[in-house]
Structure 1
Amino acid sequence: MKFIGARLWKFKLPIAGAALAAAVLTFALYEPKPVQAWTGKTTVTIGMAPPAAFVLQLSGPPLAPLEPPRSLVARISDQAFKEKVASRAALDPKTSSFSKIMVASSLRGIILESDRDIAVELSAGSSADVQAALAALAAEISEAHGALLKQRLQPLRAQIEDAKARVAQIEKSNDSINARILTPEPADNIRPPIVPTVTAAIPAWNQLKDRIQTGENLAEMSEPTVVQLNAAISPMASRSIGTLRASILAGLVMIAAMSILALAVGPRRGSGA
């Protein structure tokens, strides 16, 4: 052992240089297998419906977005929502593992200047997976906003049905009065005039008819949220899934080189004896 140690000590500088050169070459020449990634960007147009304040109190705008853009962007940015979209997407089995990770990490919403539109970006392992992830995103948003649209329209439709029932009641009462007017009475049977009663019902009937017309127009103008599926899809720069492994390997080689260098330049035991 003393003989081997003496020989190593004699060539300590070449050994240290070789170790450092090996570390540098390993770090420079190691190229993990790249994986092609694709990215897609599209637009989401938030649906419109009459808010409760307008339906019940005729206050505020007659139509408003189902969800504010900032709220929708926050919904899309939630990690649980991202993972739900990634799990729901019908991905290619060959790239599904990589694409799920990419979708769950890259999906994000971007606020635009419009009060109804936001942009959405995501990445996956193929263009088909990007399209599948966007379709899953559209399904998730449509379900959530479909429930909001139904909730918004429910009081409006209840109000329309109530107004229709009251109109029918007024018309039935008027028909009864008209029948009494047209029915001949004996000369000695003097009845009070009923024209004022009919006249008093006309304004209420007109208001109810206007309310029905306004409500039906609002229901017709309400819109569901739409996710544009004709997204702009393009390849990204090749991404390496072995970056972490390469960094760890380079670190280990550097540690080994430094250890060898320390042993080579350090004092040997018993050198003063």
Structure 2
Amino acid sequence: MEFFVEQNSVVRKIWGKSDTVLFIFAGASAEFALNKAVDWLYFTGKLPSDPLGRLFSTVSYARKIVFSSKDDANKAIDTMRKIHATVEENRGAVIPDWAYRDVLFMLIHYSIASYELLEKKLSDAEKEEVYNVFYRVGRRMGLKDLPISYTEWLPVRETHLQENLQKSHYTSDLFKQYKKHLGPIRFKVLIESQKLVVPSIVKKLLYFGVFSLLTPVIPMYKISRLIKLDWVLKSILLPSDYKAQINELDVHSD
């Protein structure tokens, strides 16, 4: 069987651990809220009513692609494209190509940033490997103007950050929804987690401080993983409604 992502790929290591995926989720939830096309997600009503579920859905699709055969991964990508096409038809407008690229770029950036935060620095070749996987996803979705390599992508990513992010009433509302669904303590943990992985422009737009309260906690958390106590922290910090989904994220971690 031919897999979409090779079995020994670093991409499987990144997406095979729940804590790494949760940091991807945290970072994307911050940048998502600033995207100029976030109104598209408000159009269906699904994002404000269930922001965590909507983001988990995106993460679940990405994981399905990473751990599936090439045929099944392509089917998942095609399904994702059809879902968006239906939204476009209902609204009578087309989601801009740059908005699709932005979401793809988030998955690339936060995959690398989250793994490097919790595990180790990636080599240039490994970063290229991460980029190539999502590049192929983008190509399958029909996205245009995708750089062909990680190094060519870096300045394009920077341009996207400069041009496509803004703080709006959608941003404020989305963070209110995060707080409502998480509760004040978990929401605070989310904010501190976001500070560790988001680019500087995101920090600036969201008025984040430079220092995260989680910075001194990360080394201790790494130790807790070694002695298998990280599940205690996760059970305290994560919403009970999503614990089953989060536990499933570790299925492919071996």
> Is the pair's TM-score, using the shorter chain for normalization, greater than 0.5?
no
Greater fraction of residues in strand:
1
Between structure 1 and structure 2, the one with the greater Rg is: 1
Greater fraction of residues in helix:
2
